[in-house]
Amino acid sequence: MTAIDVRPVPDAEAVAAAVAAALRTIDANLAAFGKRYPGDTTVRGRYPLREANEGWTTSFWPGMLWLAHALTDDRRYHDAALGHVGSFSDRIRSRHDVDTHDLGFLYTLSCVTPWKIAGDASAREAALAAADHLVTRVLPAAGIIQAWGDMDDPRQQGRTIIDSLMNTPLLFWAAAESDKPDLSEIARRHVAQLRDHILRPDGTTYHTFYWDGVTG
């Protein structure tokens, strides 16, 4: 019996149209945002622009700019994305709104990427600092990275969410970049704990799961 490949064939014209539409949106936002970032949620159907680099979504904008650069090789996107490194460096240096597991995708998109693509040393330094700060959220007994809040807050202690898996790449990168294998072990144990406990038998997941921070 001959196997038949049933994977859908991409429609090149539709893909090109979708990319062009995305780039038009990015261009419009590039003119509107300046150095600001859209908020996490809408107000009367629109995302207000925040003046400060805070919240869990700010890296999405430079991440889109890096993707636009990858698609087009247009220097405008490269330079605009690189222009956001400073605010992310300031954020981790000042410890402003960094008590969160979201440091993983905040700094992977905003700082690891410009280090890899543009060789920006300040981006590398900020990403490594973010990784070091992220591991302060580890609960050793439970083997997990706590999602949010003060580590002594009983309402948040021991809480993680399925989304936390998106934060582990920062630790794997930092482990290799700074020769700190313990960072990758922290990430591996966190992933294993979620694999063993947050998955349901039918393959779906809980969103939120609590561990006892003392006993694990």
Which among 102, 120, 150, 212 is annotated as catalytic? Answer: 102
Which among 27, 40, 99, 163 is annotated as catalytic? Answer: 163
Alpha carbons 85 and 127: distance in angstroms, whole number = 10
Is 163 part of the annotated catalytic residue set?
Answer: yes
Q: What does the chain come to in residues?
A: 216
Query: How distant, in Å, are the alpha carbons of 84, 123, 148 from that of 94?
Result: 16, 15, 18
Here the tokens at position 1 are 């019996």
Chain-centre distance for alpha carbon 201: 28
The catalytic site residues sit at 102, 163
